[in-house]
Every structure is written in structure tokens, then in C-alpha cells.
Chain A
Amino acid sequence: MTPIIALGFLFLTIFLFLVVFLFIKKYTPQFREILALTRLARSLGLSVEDGKRLHISLGHSSLLDERGGSAFAGLSALRIISEKTSVSDMPPVASAGDAALGLLTQDTMQAGYQAAGVEELYVHTTSRVTGLTPFSYTVGAMYIASDENVSTNIMLGHFGAEASLLADVADRNYATLIGASDNLAGQSVLYASTQDALIGEELFATGAYLDTSSSHSASLIVQDILRWLIIITLLGGSALKFIGVF
């Protein structure tokens, strides 16, 4: 029964994505304001003006398990950020805690430079694998955050409680910190450590807020529709249980 429900949900998501994607080509959707993402968009421009770096940490997600979703969301944001800040005197630095993710980070950043028409400015050492375990990765990322003239640390991906160490370094260097994790411990740590926290699925909204492309907006609208469907199903199920149908 469960695989059938899962398959049905999958097809529903695909169907909704296609319908919404075709529909929003005609209309520009309006999204609610997320303060952390407004701050992120502003810090992209400020970093270019200040001549300081952005540090994008993509966490230690493995691409072979369910944590890969947050890694892909981080890569999507990285692609936009690298395109928008590639002309800065101090190019952005990206760090990853998984080797395969590190390779994709290099490819994504290079693509961002390519899209901005400055591929020759891309330096492959700006995309780094700083460690292969959560702590070694975090320590390597702390090293970047403290020593490389970073004005904004952007943490998008899978982080556990060790995110606190990186957040602490950002605080001590008076750098802005914007963070989102798919892990509950990481989220609570980032909630306590950042000015404006990103909670839950807001991690996956980053692309849509930084880039106005139809596909990003469609993804976000589909997430909202599915969330409402789940809410209605949960409430309906509870009501049916209450009145004794189940």
C-alpha cells in the first residue's frame, strides 16, 4: 500500500510542477517576505561594494542518501550567488564536507562564472573540500571564515550541532551569518545563532528568492500546494477518527 501511495504522491508532484510551471510563465507570483533571504540578497551586493568575500558552506550532505536534497538546494543557491558576485575583487569561496559534493561545487561555481561571462576569473581553489567528517569539515570552514576577509557566511545544506562552531567564528569576526539546515539539531543551533533564521523548507526557497526564473518559482508553489494538501489530509483524518469513521 505504501509504495502505491508514494508513487501516487510522486506523480501528483510531477503533474503539479508541470501545470504550475506552464501557468506562472504568464503571471509573476508574489512570495511573502523572508527576512533572512532579503538580507542575503542585500549582502550579495554589499560584498561586491565592500571588496569582501562571501563564504558559502554547503554542509556535509552525502549525495547518495536523503540528505542530498539540501545539498542540491545549496548548489542551486551557489550557482546564482557565484554568477552575481563573480566580478567582485574578492571572489566567493565555497566549502563542502563531502567529496562528491565538492566536485559539484567546483562545477557549479564555474558555471556561475561562465554565465556572468567571466569564466577566466574562476580559480578552482575557491571551491574546497575542507574535511570529510562533520567536525573536520567545520574546522576547515572556520579557517576560511576567520582568515579570508569574509563579510558574510552563508550556510545552506546539512549541518548538525557543529554549525555552532562556525556560527561562533562568524560572530567573533563581525560577519553576517545566514544559515539553514535540513537537520533539526542544526536548525535549532542556527536559530539561536543567526539574526533571522531560516526554518524547515525555507532552505529550499533560497533559489526562488534569489532568482526569478519560472522553474524556481514553480517549485516553491508546488511545495506550498503539497503542504496544504498534507495539512487538509491530517486535519480531515483527525476529524474522521474523532467521529469514529476509522
Chain B
Amino acid sequence: MRILTAVIAIAVGSMVLLGYFSTSFINIQTLLLNWAIILAGVAALAGVFNLITVHGNKVRQAEKNSIYSAVLVISLIATFILGIILRPQHAVMQVILNGIILPVESTLMGLLTITLLYAGIRLLRRRVDVMSIFFIISAVIIFLGSATLPSGDIPLIGTLVRPWLSQIWAMGGARGILIGVALGTLVTGLRVLFGVERPYGGK
């Protein structure tokens, strides 16, 4: 079984990869990617089932804060059933989306700005080194240079320092990091493609 799963993964991976370099493999690449999308849809159902199982167990065992698990399971099942019966375009489903889900995500976004500010404040308490000081100074300059003030841009910082910092130094650093990430992704992908790394089939 393990060998079969590895053979399938390697064969499918190789054909999808070849599709990027040879026109003869484009059709099979498209077909395989479509299959993958369908499988990802099925996996989403498995993921939802996993979520219900985990939180259902918490409620059954009356674990700490299990009330939130109960709310999650009830909301999930109710939304799922309503979505199937009424369809996503129905007014009730739109109310659920626009009245509950989107505001909750917006609230989290607001909370995120506070936690980011707090993380910035704590940085120098946690780690006092040259890089952290540069990090804070850069963040403050970018922040001041991007701030919308009634008087317009802050002279020098908004017009000269911020663009110089963000378009030369930060851009260069970001490209360097992204090249590193791309190389890591390439090598990791090849490890999976050749079956050296097999996060499937229980090995």
C-alpha cells in the first residue's frame, strides 16, 4: 500500500511538473489538477467532520470552555443545513455572512492591529540587539511616512526617507528572503516528488 501511494504521488507529481515544460503534457496536467481540486473539496468535508468530532468530544467531556465548542458545533451544523436547503444566495444566508461572519473577521482585524502594536512595543524588552533597533526604527519611519495628516506628507520623511527605505532597503531584503524561500520550496518539492519525503501513506 505504501509503495502504491508513493508510485501514484511520484507519477502524478512528475506529470504535473512536465506540463509546465512540454505542451504534450498540458492536457494531462489540467486533468490531474482538476481531480486535485475535486479531492480538495472532499477533503474540506473531512476537515469539517474533524472539527465537529474534536469540539463534540470537548462538549461531551465537559472540558474547560466547552461552551464555545458547543456554540461552534451548533452554528456550524445550522449554517451547513441552512446553506444546503436555502442555497448560499438566499437572504438568510446573506444575513449570516454579512451580519455575523464578516463583522467577526473585521473585529479580529481590529484586534490584530492592537496585538501588532503590542508586539512592536515588547520587541525591545524581549531582544535588545542591533537588528531589533533597526526593525523598530524602520517601522516608525514607514509609519510616519505613510500617515495621512491634514498638512500632507511629513517633509523629508514622507517624501524622501520612506520611499528610500521601502523601495531600496526593504525591497532588497524582501527579495533576498523570497529567493531563500523559493529555494527551500524547490528542494522540499523535489524531496516530495522523489518520495524521499512522504507525508502520506503512514510513513
Contacts and interface: CB of A to CB of B under 8 A. Distances in A.
Interface in B55-112: 57, 63-65, 68, 105, 108-109, 111-112
Contact of A103 (B43, B54, B108, B183): B43
Contacts of B54: 125, 128
Range of interface residues on A (Cβ < 8 Å): 35 or more
Contacts, number: 185
B187 A219 contact: yes
Range of interface residues on B (Cβ < 8 Å): 35 or more
A104 B199 contact: yes
Given A129-B51, A195-B126, A222-B187, A187 B177 contact: yes
B178 to A, nearest CB: 7
A3, A106, A184, most chain B CB atoms within 10 A: A184
Contact of A215 (B50, B176, B191): B191
8 contacts: A13-B190, A76-B191, A99-B47, A107-B202, A125-B54, A192-B120, A196-B127, A200-B178
Interface of A: 3, 6-7, 10, 13-14, 17, 62-64, 66, 68-70, 72-73, 75-76, 79, 98-100, 102-104, 106-108, 110-111, 114, 125, 127-133, 135, 138-140, 143, 147, 161-162, 164-165, 167-168, 171, 182, 184, 187-189, 191-193, 195-196, 199-201, 203-205, 215, 219, 222-223, 226-227, 230
Interface of B: 17, 20-21, 33, 36-37, 39-40, 43-48, 50-51, 53-54, 57, 63-65, 68, 105, 108-109, 111-112, 115-116, 118-120, 122-123, 126-127, 135, 174, 176-181, 183-192, 196-197, 199-203
